[in-house]
Amino acid sequence: MLEAEADGLRELARARAIRVPAPVACGDASGVAFLALEWLEFSGGGRDAVLGAGLAQLHRTTAPAHGWHRDNTIGTTPQDNAWTGDWATFFRDRRIAPQLALAAGKGHGGRLQRDGQRLLAAIPALLAGHAPVPSLVHGDLWAGNAARLASGEPVIFDPAVHFGDREADLAMTELFGGFGTSFYAAYSEAWPLAPGYATRRTLYNLYHVLNHLNLFGGGYRAQAETMIASLLASHG
């Protein structure tokens, strides 16, 4: 898991769009795995226009297909990044389906699984006509994974890197909040989002809500069920 995280940080650094802490060493000592990173002194804020413009630049780094050269994790949950040419297929089979299967294994059945299976069948239609270029994405971009240096330079870290729809990064910034209006304005000025983003935002954030259900339980099941119902209603 930590080796994949270090590899993800190096992938982000190669884009030369947003500062990331450089991996120093990764290994194990006395049976305990470790990842040592460059020390960076953070100041307050950092989720503003400079980061928005930088994120749009990061997303300009593309690949021929969706996925990555290795699997990694979202939190501690395994994340399948096998290369896939079609975005709807990738998101259905590599993102939502594994989370639903994991939830079933943890005893979350009933409405979640019944409607979840309907959603899997509907994802190609929900994403019909939307063929995003495979962009380099952070993959876990909530406010706790972004900061800035005293110089004002933004920094991102703790990624779940892959090449996918850039909108998925934007969607997660809205899931828990913490990003200023200037962040979104600067991103939109650099690279506007396509029509239909509001529906896709719910679909993309469902992945993270299901992951939180699998990691933490609690009220995330009801939230996931509500999101699935909304998506099914929009599909008709």
What is the spatial distance between Cα 130 and Cα 151, in angstroms, rounded to a whole number? 38
Sign of CA dihedral 8, 13, 19, 23: positive
**What's the rounded Cα separation, in Å, for the pair 229 and 91?**
18
Inter-residue contact 140 to 160 (CB < 8 Å)? yes
Q: 49-59 vs 167-175: helix axis angle to the nearest 10?
A: 150
**Cα(114)–Cα(9) distance, rounded to whole angstroms?**
38
In eight-state DSSP terms, residue 73 is E
Catalytic residue at 140? yes
CB under 8 Å to 23, separation ≥6 — which residues? Answer: 6, 9, 10, 35, 36, 37, 38
Among 48, 140, 158, 165, the active-site one is 140
Active-site residue list = 140
